[in-house]
Amino acid sequence: IEERSKNYWLFSYYCNGINFRDIADLKGKNIDGDMLRFVREKTKRTSQGNQSNISCYLIEEAKEIIKKLGNKDCGPNDYVFPILSKGDNSEVINAKVAQLIQTTNKNMKRICGKLKLQKNVTTYFARHSSATILKRSGASISQIQEALGHSNNAVTQKYLDSFEDDTKK
C-alpha cells in the first residue's frame, strides 16, 4: 500500500502537481500520446471561459506509473486509475477521493519516517513542490499558472510565496 501511495504522489509531482481529484477523474481520452490533457474538476461546471484546460508532458516515469497502477484495456471513457467507478455519485466520488488523499498522506508520512525525513510530504506538497521546481527552473508565473490551472497570476504568486515562506522556516 505504501508503494501505491508513493506512486500516486509521484504521478502528481511528475504531472505538474495535478490535484488528486483530477487524478481520480482522468479517463483514457485525456491521454493524447505523450501529453496529458484535462479540464480541472474544480472548474468543469463553470462557464467555458473560466475552465482550466491543462496540458502536461507525460515523462517516462509517469507513463510507468500508469502502466503499473492503471486500469488495463482503458478505453476513452474509462477511468485511467482504479479509484472511481462508472456510476459513482458525487457523494461516493468525494468519499473515494478523500480516502485516497488520506491514505496517501498517511503512507507518505510512514515513508518519510523510515527515511528519517523531517518533512510533512502530503499530496499538497507534491503540487507545491512541482510548482516551486518550475519557478526555480526559470518558468514564468504565467506558465506555472497554466500548469496548476489557477484562475490568475495573483493566485499563483500567492501560492508560490506561501510555500517559499514554509521552505524558509
104-116 residue pLDDT tens: 999 999 999 999 9
pLDDT digits (tens, 9 = 90+) for 67-98: 999 999 899 999 999 999 999 999 999 999 99
Give residues with Cβ within 8 angstroms of 160, minimum separation 6.
Answer: 131, 132, 135, 141, 144
CB 147 within 8 A of CB 131: yes
Overall average pLDDT of the 13-32 stretch = 94
CB 8 within 8 A of CB 104: yes
CB 103 within 8 A of CB 1: yes
CB 149 within 8 A of CB 40: yes
